[in-house]
Amino acid sequence: MEAAAIVLAAGAGTRMKSKKPKVAHEVLGKPLVRWVVDAAHAAGVSQVATVVGHAREQVIPLVEGDTQVVVQEVQNGTAGAVLACADAFAGFDGSLSVLTGDCPLIKPETIARLAQVRDERNAAVVVLTMKLDDPTGYGRIIRDEAGQVERIVEQKDATPEQAAVNECNSGFYCFDARALFDALAQVSNDNAQGEFYLTDVLEICRNAGRPVLALATDDATECLGVNSRIQLAQVTKVMQRRINERHMAAGVTMVDPDQVWIGPDVEIERDVELLPQVMLMGATRVGEDSVIGPNTRLTDTCVGRGCTIEETVAIEVQIDDAATAGPRAYLRPGTHLCEGAKAGTHVEIKKSTIGRGSKVPHLSYIGDTTMGEGVNIGAGSITCNYDGKKKWPTTIGDNAFIGSDTMMVAPVTIGAGSIIGAGSCITKEVQPDALALTRPEQREVPGWAAKKRARQAAEE
């Protein structure tokens, strides 16, 4: 069965109250339109066209890699949007799905099922329908006396009797491509909105004697669209639960699933525990037996097995097996915690390798640094890597011990096994196994404090 799809993504979404087009808003880190495009590809659709219009410069980068971009110059309705794809599908003869770009919950299985039903029944169109307790705002499915789909009536054009119907149009269809474009030429804009409705194609095809079918979904949430920030939050909650349940079924523990947010491309191995207020986004990976959270956000980060990551923000970071981070650690892009390494409390690390078993326990900043194995960084120590124009490297050899409150002024190399005295400012290379310190001599003035207190008392 040859199948293709059109994704409608040209609307402005004025109720979003945003400078961004509606379909560019995100659910769990992924734009609305990408959810739909990816679902189409997962359904086995070979050719996908995305119709763009409003703020197209923001939408095109989201879809141009794996869809054909079609511009709807004038936003005159859904029929106009589909008709803009006529040239793109001029030689196509098969099942052509039309998908709504602001409905991210649609499942690949449903898209595939629509095409399968249309192909098996040789129908002109199969429309996905849903039954709602409150159908306000949706087009109504009007059936004839035999129960066959007769037409779809939009809310603003519905009579009171039609408005009482609770079977609604989801906005998802699968057409016979040739029948679709033949019918589009007959669509008019004689309606309350003055727009060209794609829904009119159903009645045109029926009048031409072609089968018009409805496929009812048993999960109406699949068809939830996003037209406001409130609906965006509602859709996000549904997707959050759907993703979390999939991971829990695969062996991931969540103390409170409502307080865990996982992006669609995240991979988690079994026996991982996710504590409350955890966000895993992008291409994040988490290995077996790791504990993540609470209060942790990982983006495009790879976590090995048996790690503990607590109250940590990590972006584009590699964390190897048995490493630990936090609480309150900030790991910036290019950071690599090797096996058993530690980034502790109030630690910031950027573009640095922390060697196997090395520790940056607390109150430190490490940037542009290559650190060997078994290194210990004392509290309050920093690499001074930026001269105002350029970032400079620091190299710390195996088993070096850096005393508390040390400044390492890059570029600088600290040899293996060396010891840096607390409170030092290291500006020159330190040889292996040496002691380096820049601490000034301590000076003491006997009785000075008592004399100061006496003067203050006399002044009062």
Q: How far apart are CA 282 and CA 266, in angstroms?
A: 6
Residue 299: phi, psi to the nearest 5? -125, 125
Q: Which two tokens stand for residue 246?
A: 């999939």
Q: Is 330 annotated as a binding residue?
A: no
Q: Is 369 annotated as a binding residue?
A: no
Q: Is 72 annotated as a binding residue?
A: yes
Q: Is 283 annotated as a binding residue?
A: no
Contact 239, 105 (CB under 8 A): yes
Q: What is the DSSP letter of 25?
A: S
Contact 217, 130 (CB under 8 A): yes
Q: Which two tokens stand for residue 169?
A: 């149009």
Contact 420, 436 (CB under 8 A): yes
Contact 200, 157 (CB under 8 A): no
Q: Is 78 annotated as a binding residue?
A: yes
Q: Is 102 annotated as a binding residue?
A: yes
Q: Is 139 annotated as a binding residue?
A: yes
Q: Is 376 annotated as a binding residue?
A: yes
Per-position DSSP letters for 78-112, written without gaps between them: HHHHHHTTTTTTTT--SEEEEEETT-TT--HHHHH
Contact 285, 319 (CB under 8 A): no
Q: How far apart are CA 311 and CA 279, in angstroms?
A: 11
Q: Is the alpha carbon torsion for 28, 33, 34, 35 positive or negative? A: positive
Task: Report CA 137 to chain centroid distance, whole Å.
Answer: 29
Among this protein's residues, is 41 annotated catalytic? no
Q: Is 428 annotated as a binding residue?
A: no
The per-residue b/e assignment along 85-94, b for 16 or more CB within 10 angstroms, e otherwise, is beebbeebeb
Q: Is 10 annotated as a binding residue?
A: yes
> SS3 for 321?
coil
Contact 320, 341 (CB under 8 A): yes
Q: Is 443 annotated as a binding residue?
A: no
Q: Name the nearest CA neighbour of 102 among 216, 231, 189, 209.
A: 231
Q: Is 77 annotated as a binding residue?
A: yes
Q: Is 344 annotated as a binding residue?
A: no
Q: Is 295 annotated as a binding residue?
A: no
The residue annotated as part of the active site, out of 25, 247, 336, 362, is: 362
> SS3 for 333?
coil
Q: Is 251 annotated as a binding residue?
A: no
Q: Is 386 annotated as a binding residue?
A: yes
Write down the residue that tokens 């409003």 correspond to: 54
Contact 267, 251 (CB under 8 A): no
Q: How far apart are CA 255 and CA 18, in angstroms?
A: 35
Question: Which secondary-structure segment (H or E) carries 42?
Answer: helix 32-42
Write down the residue that tokens 């410069």 correspond to: 57
Strand partners, 84: none
Q: Is 191 annotated as a binding residue?
A: no
Q: Is 227 annotated as a binding residue?
A: yes
Q: Is 138 annotated as a binding residue?
A: no
Length of the chain: 460
Bind-site residues for Mg(2+):
102, 227
Bind-site residues for UDP-N-acetyl-alpha-D-glucosamine:
8-11, 22, 72, 77-78, 139, 154, 169, 227, 332, 350, 365, 376
Bind-site residues:
8-11, 22, 72, 77-78, 102, 139, 154, 169, 227, 332, 350, 365, 376, 379, 385-386, 404, 422, 439
Bind-site residues for acetyl-CoA:
379, 385-386, 404, 422, 439
Catalytic positions are: 362
